[in-house]
Amino acid sequence: MEGLAIRASRPSIICSLPGLDVGSQRLPLSDGFLRLPTSSYAADKPKLVAKSASLHPISAVNVSAQASLTADFPALSETNVKEERINGDKNKPENIVWHESSICRCDRQQLLQQKGCVIWITGLSGSGKSTVACALSKALFERGKLTYTLDGDNVRHGLNRDLTFKAEDRTENIRRIGEVAKLFADVGVICIASLISPYRRDRDECRSLLPEGDFVEVFMDVPLSVCESRDPKGLYKLARAGKIKGFTGIDDPYEAPLNCEVVLKHTGDDDSCSPRQMAEHIIFYLQNKGYLEG
């Protein structure tokens, strides 16, 4: 049958459509052909139909099991994805414009009778961050205040499940949590972020996302020896055995805050170091700054 024939050198999908004749010849796996009958196309689009039935090669994407998508689509490569994360707003299209809401932050805070902020609890693994975060959330709930806790482990079950514990992924982990926490604060919710967040630069980046005073950094000042003796998840034991690499406090540094709003120091006194008492210290700070009022 006379018509246009198209040849693909490395097809990944072969399909048969009504009205298209691929001929009776069995084609090798490395070649693919598509023949368009002149009865369907020549009358309407003569310029698109070849004058002969010869085969013309076209390029095709190889997505075989041995091939990589990123080889054919460089935009999807890991390097480009990381550059996109790092560059941030530099790569944002110019036609993206912020859409203002008719309900502002002050309206939501008036409704909730509280001011939105981020309580960022940082410290070594085993320092008690999650425990204090839970105690704080409960104590504020009992006072009629709305909170939400972003726990470092919990967030890695969903939003950040694609991230590892390499330095660049830890930075991205913190960035994402900081952006989510910012949204909660804008709603008027007291957001409690509880995660190691070992690097000052990453914590400072999150602080810069919020208005002055709305980022409350809480440092769990607990010695490494105490955290390691607790070792609730058995992670220090694994790190000491070399089964976990890049573990904060063992073979990766923890950079303690220099100018945080609240320091919860371990003194060895069970009463002053109880989770509830530590939570009350944070609440005292919030009360003095007016965050528990509309």
Catalytically active residues, by annotation: 197
3-state secondary structure string across the chain: CCEEEEEECCCCCCCCCCCCCCCCCCCCCCCEEEEEEHHHHCCCCHHHCCCCCCEEEECCCCCCCCCCHHHHCHHHCHHHHHHHHHHHHHHCCCCCCCCCCCCCHHHHHHHHCCCCEEEEEECCCCCCHHHHHHHHHHHHHHCCCCEEEEEHHHHCCCCCCCCCCCHHHHHHHHHHHHHHHHHHHHHCCEEEEECCCCCHHHHHHHHHCCCCCCEEEEEEECCHHHHHHHCCCCHHHHHHCCCCCCCECCCECCCCCCCCCEEEECCCCCCCCCHHHHHHHHHHHHHHCCCCCC
How do strand 55-58 and strand 3-8 relate by DSSP bridges?
Answer: parallel
Q: What b/e sequence results for 65-102 when a residue is b if at least 16 CB atoms lie within 10 Å of its CB, and e otherwise? A: eeeeeeeeeeeeeeeeeeeeeeeeeeeeeeeeeeeeee
